[in-house]
Amino acid sequence: MDHVEMKPITLPRLEAALQRLLLRQSLDQAPAMTEDAAKPIFDSATYEELFAGSDVDGREWLEGYLSAASGLIDALRRAVAARSAADVAATAHQLAGATLSVGATRAGLLCRALEGAAKTPDWPRLSALAGEVTNALGEACREIDRFADSKGALVP
């Protein structure tokens, strides 16, 4: 038995339980992803390596990532809604490259897993994974935003 849902069962609760089940099945099919949960949400080591002693303002680079991620997350939502596996794969590919490069390893590896999964248009699975990717990216973006704030305000 995988799950117990207490009566009275409502449609939202049933839907949420099914989503959790589908997500767990996705994770079972991609065992490497469970290890990804231990990866950092955002590691500032790349930032430090790229901007230590540089006269370029690294906060603009972080803002650039946040802006790119925001546009790509919207594109991912559109691709899932349109049931376009090719667009899901292409968007997840772009998200993975940018997200791993900024130092958000956990979300980046999830994007890479989604890119791989999109080779098979199993939409319940892809939708669940895309939701997980979106959540992880949201978490990473909040962390990056906090880090950028800690470096001081950008001069317009």
Site residues (vs another protein, CB under 8 A): 46, 49-51, 54, 56, 61, 64-65, 67-68, 90, 93-94, 96-98, 100-102, 108, 112, 115
Of 23 and 98, the one with the shorter C-beta distance to another protein is 98
Residue 8: DSSP 8-state: S
| Sequence letter at residue 75 | A
The CB-of-25 to another protein minimum distance in angstroms stands at: 25
Of 5 and 64, the one with the shorter C-beta distance to another protein is 64
For 91, the 3-state DSSP assignment is: helix
The CB-of-96 to another protein minimum distance in angstroms stands at: 5
